[in-house]
Amino acid sequence: MTRPVSSFARAAQVAQARHAKAMLLPLPRADANATALRIHLTLDLLRRGQGNLHGVHLLADVMVLVVLIADLRFGKVTQAQICAAETAIGTCVECGHRTGEWHLDQVGFASLATMVTIYDRQLHRAPGGVLSLAYERLRHFRAQSRIEHESRAGRPESR
């Protein structure tokens, strides 16, 4: 009867070893390409004035991920690039809420295109473990922001 337990333990060890190895390798090319394509299409929709708030949120997440991944030593981003992208997102959100039209001007497009290009490179080069850690930090950042927003709005905090 101990054989099934040891077989199970061995299978678990093999699965853990595969997972650990996968975390050291970049994403599979098809996955990185699919993610990058979605981001590039979102950016283009906003450039053409056919975007929406969801697309702006997606690009804001990309900007944060670029910074987080660069902090983990994969890719480089300057403070000027970050500020320009933040300004572009802020301008797009303000205009979108005011007019209902979600679009980027040429300067905003160029700023966010730089971030999208950096992210594209990061997706193709950074190990899966680095990307996973960055995504987890983004989720934590979002949760903290939501809690702070709710507490400022006078609603009880939800955890």
Strand partners, 51: 102
Give residue 97's domain range. 26-152
The first and second tokens of residue 86, run together, are 């933040």
Residue written as token pair 């030593």? 73
Coil, helix or strand for 26?
strand
Average pLDDT value for residue range 5-25: 70
The count of domains in the chain is 1
pLDDT of res. 159: 44
Alpha-carbon span 93 to 89, nearest angstrom? 6
pLDDT tens per residue, range 46-60: 999 999 999 999 999
Inside any domain, residue 119: yes
- The answer as to whether 2 is a domain residue is no
Instruction: Give domain status of residue 46, yes or no.
Output: yes
95-139: pLDDT as tens digits: 999 999 999 999 999 999 999 999 999 999 999 999 999 999 999
What are 97-107's pLDDT values in tens digits?
A: 999 999 999 99
Exposure string over 84-121, b if 16+ CB within 10 A, otherwise e: bbeebbebbeebbeeeeebbbeeebbebbbbbbebbbb
Evaluate whether residue 3 is within a structural domain: no
What is the C-alpha to C-alpha distance for residues 66 and 77, in angstroms, rounded to an integer? 8
Residue 159 lies in a domain: no
Q: Helices in 48-78 by DSSP H: which ranges?
A: 53-71
Q: Taking residues 1-11, what's their average pLDDT?
A: 62
Residue 56 domain-assigned (yes or no): yes
Q: Give bridge partners of residue 26 from the DSSP assignment.
A: 127
Considering the domain boundaries, does residue 158 fall inside one?
Answer: no
- The answer to whether residue 157 sits within a structural domain is no
